[in-house]
């Protein structure tokens, strides 16, 4: 039998085996790029529990439950404040977590802890709703005006490195990055500039949002049981 030469065609690569994660979730072998990830995310086989993101060819998974005080309640505090502002002045739509955001041009598909877009942003096609037949709208595609991520112990690199880069490449005007795990909570409104995101200078603990034309502050207090209570304060920008 002749020995194959270096220039002879080789057989097609064997498909990747399914990845089983702690017997709680299985990533099918055919999920290998953004398009296949989106098909999986819209299928009945997509896990109901856990966080799954496609971050520029990196598949990121977190099956841990949210920590109550430093993640779940922090998200709730931001949602309450921003929803209240938008109720008074409905300039756009605030979208809490569990909604898939995809941006094909930067190879991104993830579930932000929250996002916001102006009505005009959707009217101009900068962002759009993606409908799944018989199941309504399960995905947003394009560029929102703001995204919010609350850092957990498993998401430090995702939130502070990967998503910081991808949200910037996607053109998200403001990236709100929160880390409430320490004694002093950290809250940054990152502004989109030509060379990356830049931190908004804080004034006595207040962060200014050009989008909402308000200043915001994340305050740590105590509830009547002596437990941590996070409150997001706001005031009109002067």
The confidence score (pLDDT) of residue 15 equals: 74
Q: Chain-wide mean pLDDT for the chain?
A: 94
Task: From 94, 153, 92, select the one nearest 124 (Cα to Cα).
Answer: 92
**What pLDDT, in 10s, does the model give residues 145-195?**
999 999 999 999 999 999 999 999 999 999 999 999 999 999 999 999 999
Q: Which residues pair with 177 in a beta bridge?
A: 149, 188
9 band by pLDDT with thresholds 50, 70 and 90: low
The confidence score (pLDDT) of residue 209 equals: 98
- Could you give the 3-state DSSP secondary structure of residue 202? coil
134 band by pLDDT with thresholds 50, 70 and 90: confident
**Domains of the chain, start order:** 68-236 (3.90.1570.10)
DSSP, residue by residue, 76-132: HHHHHHHHHHHHHS--EEEEESS-EEEEGGGTEEE--SEEEEEHHHHHTTSEEEEEE
Q: Which two tokens stand for residue 223?
A: 């509830």
Q: Which two tokens stand for residue 113?
A: 């802890």
Can you tell me the distance from the alpha carbon of 141 to that of 34, in angstroms, rounded to the nearest whole number?
Answer: 12
Beta carbons of 146 and 173 less than 8 angstroms apart: yes
Q: Which residues pair with 129 in a beta bridge?
A: 140
Contacts 24+ apart (CB under 8 A), 88-93: 91/118, 91/119, 92/116, 92/117, 92/118, 92/119, 92/120, 92/121, 92/145, 93/117, 93/119, 93/122
Of all residues in the chain, the percent with pLDDT exceeding 70 is 94
10 band by pLDDT with thresholds 50, 70 and 90: low
5 band by pLDDT with thresholds 50, 70 and 90: low
The 3-state DSSP composition of the chain as helix, strand, coil percent (nearest 5) reads: 20, 40, 40
The confidence score (pLDDT) of residue 132 equals: 83
- Choice among 8-12, 141-145, 176-180 with the minimum mean pLDDT: 8-12
Those residues with Cβ within 8 angstroms of residue 119's Cβ, 6 or more apart along the chain or in another chain: 91, 92, 93
**What pLDDT, in 10s, does the model give residues 94-132?**
999 999 999 999 999 999 999 999 999 999 999 999 998
The residue whose two tokens read 């949002």 is: 209
Strands 114-118, 92-96: pairing kind? antiparallel
Tell me what the mean pLDDT of segment 65-80 comes to. Answer: 97
């Amino acid at each position: 039998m002749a020995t194959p030469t270096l220039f002879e065609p080789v057989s097609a690569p064997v498909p990747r085996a399914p990845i089983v994660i702690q017997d709680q979730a299985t990533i099918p072998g055919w999920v290998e790029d953004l398009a296949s990830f989106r098909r999986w995310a819209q299928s009945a086989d997509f896990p109901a529990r856990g966080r799954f993101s496609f971050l520029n060819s990196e598949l990121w998974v977190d099956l841990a439950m949210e920590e109550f005080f430093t993640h779940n309640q922090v998200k709730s505090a931001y949602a309450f404040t921003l929803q209240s502002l938008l109720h008074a002045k409905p300039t756009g739509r605030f979208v809490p977590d569990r909604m898939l955001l995809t941006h094909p041009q930067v190879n991104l598909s993830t579930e932000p802890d929250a996002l916001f877009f102006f009505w005009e942003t959707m009217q101009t096609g900068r962002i759009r709703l993606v409908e799944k037949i018989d199941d309504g709208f399960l995905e947003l595609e394009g560029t929102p005006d703001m995204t919010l991520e609350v850092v957990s112990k498993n998401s430090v690199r995702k939130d502070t490195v990967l998503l910081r880069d991808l949200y910037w490449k996607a053109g998200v005007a403001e990236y709100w990055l929160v880390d409430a795990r320490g004694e002093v909570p950290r809250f940054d409104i990152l502004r989109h500039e030509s060379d990356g995101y830049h931190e908004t200078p804080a004034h006595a603990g207040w962060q200014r949002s050009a989008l909402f034309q308000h200043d915001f502050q994340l305050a740590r207090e105590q509830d009547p049981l002596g437990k941590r209570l996070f409150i997001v304060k706001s005031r009109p920008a002067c």
